[in-house]
Structure 1
Amino acid sequence: MTALKALVRKDLILYLNDKRALLLHLLMPVVLAAFFGSLFGGAGGGANTGKIDIGLVQQDQGAIGQKIAEGLKAESSLRVAELSLEEAQSRVREGKLAVAVVIPSGFGETAGTALFSAGGKPEIPMFYDPSQSTVLAMVKGLLTQQVMQTVSAEMFGGATGRQFTDTSLKALEGERSNDPDAAALHDLLGSLQKFQAHEDKLAGGSGKGQAGLSMPFSTKDEALSSGPKYNGYAHSFAGMSVQFILMMGIDIGISILLARRMGIWSRLLAAPLSQSQILLSRAISGALISLGLLAAIFLCGVLIFKVEISNLPGFVVVGAAFALMTASFGLLIAAFGRTPEAARGMAVFATLIMVMLGGAWVPSFVFPEWMQAATVVIPTRWAVDGLDAVTWRGLGMDVALRSAAVQLAFAAAFAGLAIWRFRRQQA
């Protein structure tokens, strides 16, 4: 036991004296977590979300077209720049604008007519960056709202609507006796004409009625979570911690391969130490370093970025399981790696795949459904989800224990494969 403690102490001292490793494994995850966390909304849970830049090509100078443009500019989620058609297309092609909207000449009048007929409807050309299809859908929704409100208001209470009603009624006078559809439309427009006259009277003859359709509902948004108020930094600290601590696990395996190359491993085996003791010491020291790094990284998150750990015992359980999984992953790299250079390349690649599929960069719930189901076999998925559960989600010990149990199962599998490989090589 004394020899084991000495080996563990030696590994810890060597790691702490390596300032470059400390900088990489502690400072880098904090910096990257701060960056990604700000993208996810920061401590305000969306307070830092920026406006969407869109271009507007205003070719319709009529009242309806101008009001649609004013409505788009008044949207709090949009930043609208009026451009020429050529400039708008150029900016979208260059990726400087997500979407450009063209309100063509005569759109207002044609749209008003189409509101009461099944004929051809005017088109609004929209140019968009192919990587911004989600933004396109959002802009379409806002544009639909503005067009419906503006066109209906003008047709029910504006000068264009009154002119359309008078003209249409005259055109339908001779058709309604033979065409039931024309008769029905004539009755509808006749009622609309009376309504317009009433609104005009209320407006004092100014022609500026109050009528018009508007969205028949509004939404009341309420964020629900079992834990504290959502903090965009919480998931980022979980993901970046998992990534860089796994990178440290790679160093555990590479250090064993380097010790073999330099003959240090042979000298250790020649001492009154068994191979099991040497491997166990590396696993213990690696797990302690991993757990210490995890605690230090989240301490920065708590003190600087207001990340809250809602379930401290659960955090310790999940963190300890992840630390053991990291240490066993390092032993697996040493067991199957032939040279330090080749092993590092393959291990970094495998780690990046696990981190990406585990939801460390972006939350796993944004993955396609089939990918969410497939990634349950990735150990990092359980680590990230477990850390999310005990921080901003505020879930109980049952979730933390489930996450820890799966990680420990992976740790046992990695360690078992590593020990089998080491024994086979020794034999």
Structure 2
Amino acid sequence: MTAFIAMIRKDLILYVNNKRALMLDLLMPVVLAAFFGMLFGGSPDKSGGKLDLGVVALDQSAVGQKIVAGLKAESSLRITELSEAEARDKVRAGKLPVAVVIPAGFGEQASDALFSGRHKPELPLFYDPSQSTMLAMVKGLLTQQVMQATSAAVMSVKGSATTDKYLAELPAAGKRTTEEAQLGDFLASLKKFQDQRAATDAAAASAASGAASAADEAPAVGMTLPYTTQEQALSSGPKYNAYAHSFAGLGVQFILFMGINLGIGILLEQRQGIWSRLLAAPVSLATVIISRAAAGAIIATGLLCSMFICATLIFKVEVTSLSGFIGMAICFGLMTAAFGLMVAAFGKTPEAARGIAIFATLVLVMLGGAWVPSFIFPEWLQQATLVVPTRWAVDGLDAVTWRGLGLQGALPAMGVQLGFAAVFGALAVWKFLRRG
């Protein structure tokens, strides 16, 4: 029993004394948990990020203006007023998740359809096909604002003409169904209220103006949803395939892990003396480093191409630009190889380097939108992650698959990958030269 306790004590002391491992074991779950907690709401005393919504306000009626004002007042929305052409272009390019068009005459038509349920006007909705969740949120908020604006307009004194129209459309009293009779009684009472309020307002306009205004704004419950939606998914490429983004994100992650293995392999060769024997041969340090980088880049490029061949054959992912995809694969492969060299150059031991490199890779992948698409991030985080190479890698692969942006759309991402490859490679060479 004494030996058993002593062995437990020994393992605990060794673990606590390994400060780097202890820090990683504590820091990694805290960072990941904080990131996902922030994405999915955060603490109850903090407001979440705002959803960007484009609004094309073609209806200048009182109801149309109230709908737009209500959307602008929503704390969860960031409204941008656009023309219809601008809204289409921004959604198609992935710069705006959802846009709604409020057509001319919508307010009057929706008010007429509130009780009758006939001739409902349409609200066109343009949305990025990768953001169906955002579309559902917008539809819910839109329903709330349309119902409040139309029912308030119908129930107000100014809605008396609409009430008369509803009553005129109902069959004669003896020919009504039970539901029509109930609706007739309700409308008759509403008409009586409107007439009395109008008489009161006429007799004392100045005294009752505030009350009349308050009555106009009072929310009321309608009998039916007074509109329909016409949803249109817009993208430059083929129909959205969620597997395309999944293969891009997880492909980036696991190929970076391959880069880590490249760096750890060099550290193991240094520990075993293989590296020294290579340098003792008539081979320069530059040749050894460049050959390792070239081999790593070829392996990374081959892995990414193989993954997307599987995605294409099995999961129907469409590569819309072969040249753009090959360019992205090569540039990302070079960045991965340079990353692996940097791990080897700055790592002291294989064990320590592996833990730190895995943690750094997970953070890069997390911020790059590989696990959760970057459009879900808060606005400030979307801007901050533009300095992360994995964000550009995932966006570039999306551009040459389901977004259909072609080589032109992937060129910025390719340039960023080459830039990081140059920086990582330069740091690695500098460190190797210093160490001799």
The corresponding residue for 1:415 is 425
The corresponding residue for 2:385 is 375
What amino acid is the match of 1:347? Answer: A
Shift of 1:362: 2.3
- 1:41-73 CA-to-partner distances (Å, cap 9, x unmatched) read xxxxxxxxxxxxxxxxxxxxxxxxxxxxxxxxx
Shift of 1:379: 0.8
Measure the CA separation in 2 of the matches of 1:238 and 1:333. Answer: 23
What amino acid is the match of 2:293? Answer: A
Distance of aligned partners of 1:182 and 1:158 in 2 relative to their CA distance in 1, 3 Å threshold: farther
- Checking the alignment, whether the CA contact within 8 Å between 2:263 and 2:340 is kept in structure 1 is yes
Distance of aligned partners of 1:214 and 1:422 in 2 relative to their CA distance in 1, 3 Å threshold: same
Measure the CA separation in 1 of the matches of 2:233 and 2:145. Answer: 26
The corresponding residue for 2:293 is 283
The corresponding residue for 1:296 is 306
Distance of aligned partners of 1:267 and 1:168 in 2 relative to their CA distance in 1, 3 Å threshold: closer
- 1:319-350 CA-to-partner distances (Å, cap 9, x unmatched) read 10000000000000001111111111111111
* Alignment match of 2:434 (pick from 396, 414, 424): 424
* Alignment match of 1:226 (pick from 233, 236, 241): 236
The corresponding residue for 1:268 is 278
Distance of aligned partners of 1:338 and 1:159 in 2 relative to their CA distance in 1, 3 Å threshold: same
Measure the CA separation in 1 of the matches of 2:412 and 2:144. Answer: 46
- 1:160-196 CA-to-partner distances (Å, cap 9, x unmatched) read 44555667888999x7798347999xxxxxxxxxxxx
* Alignment match of 2:356 (pick from 346, 356, 370): 346
Measure the CA separation in 1 of the matches of 2:403 and 2:296. Answer: 29
Measure the CA separation in 2 of the matches of 1:244 and 1:391. Answer: 19
The corresponding residue for 2:200 is 179
Extract unaligned runs of 5+ from structure 1: 1-114, 116-131, 185-211
What amino acid is the match of 1:369? Answer: E
Measure the CA separation in 1 of the matches of 2:235 and 2:134. Answer: 29
Matched, 1:323 2:333: yes
Shift of 1:138: 6.2
Task: Kindly name which structure, 1 or 2, has the bigger radius of gyration based on alpha carbons.
Answer: 1
- Checking the alignment, whether the CA contact within 8 Å between 2:386 and 2:392 is kept in structure 1 is yes
Measure the CA separation in 1 of the matches of 2:401 and 2:320. Answer: 5
Measure the CA separation in 1 of the matches of 2:136 and 2:239. Answer: 27
Measure the CA separation in 2 of the matches of 1:168 and 1:229. Answer: 49
Matched, 1:336 2:366: no
Measure the CA separation in 1 of the matches of 2:311 and 2:197. Answer: 74
Measure the CA separation in 2 of the matches of 1:391 and 1:398. Answer: 13
Distance of aligned partners of 1:135 and 1:182 in 2 relative to their CA distance in 1, 3 Å threshold: farther
Distance of aligned partners of 1:415 and 1:218 in 2 relative to their CA distance in 1, 3 Å threshold: same
What amino acid is the match of 1:297? Answer: M
Q: Which structure 2 residues correspond to residues 3-402 of structure 1 after superposition, within 5 A?
A: 158-164=180-186, 179-180=200-201, 214-402=224-412
Q: Secondary structure at the match of 1:309?
A: coil
The corresponding residue for 1:194 is none
Measure the CA separation in 2 of the matches of 1:363 and 1:340. Answer: 32
- Checking the alignment, whether the CA contact within 8 Å between 2:342 and 2:424 is kept in structure 1 is yes
Measure the CA separation in 1 of the matches of 2:145 and 2:193. Answer: 30
Distance of aligned partners of 1:270 and 1:408 in 2 relative to their CA distance in 1, 3 Å threshold: same
Deviates more, 1:335-344 or 1:396-405: 396-405
What amino acid is the match of 1:179? Answer: T
CA RMSD of aligned residues (A): 3.6
Measure the CA separation in 1 of the matches of 2:388 and 2:290. Answer: 24
Report how many aligned residue pairs link the two structures: 267
Measure the CA separation in 2 of the matches of 1:238 and 1:177. Answer: 64
Deviates more, 1:356-365 or 1:336-345: 356-365
Extract unaligned runs of 5+ from structure 2: 1-113, 115-132, 156-162, 171-178, 206-221
Distance of aligned partners of 1:309 and 1:170 in 2 relative to their CA distance in 1, 3 Å threshold: closer
Measure the CA separation in 2 of the matches of 1:290 and 1:302. Answer: 18
Shift of 1:400: 2.3
What amino acid is the match of 1:222? Answer: Q
- Checking the alignment, whether the CA contact within 8 Å between 1:176 and 1:183 is kept in structure 2 is no
- 1:368-411 CA-to-partner distances (Å, cap 9, x unmatched) read 22222211111111111111111111113222222211111110
- Checking the alignment, whether the CA contact within 8 Å between 1:318 and 1:386 is kept in structure 2 is yes
What amino acid is the match of 1:343? Answer: A
Shift of 1:275: 1.5
What amino acid is the match of 1:399? Answer: G
The one of the two structures with greater contact order (alpha-carbon pairs below 8 A, sep at least 6) is: 1
- 1:13-56 CA-to-partner distances (Å, cap 9, x unmatched) read xxxxxxxxxxxxxxxxxxxxxxxxxxxxxxxxxxxxxxxxxxxx
TM-score in terms of structure 2 length: 0.54
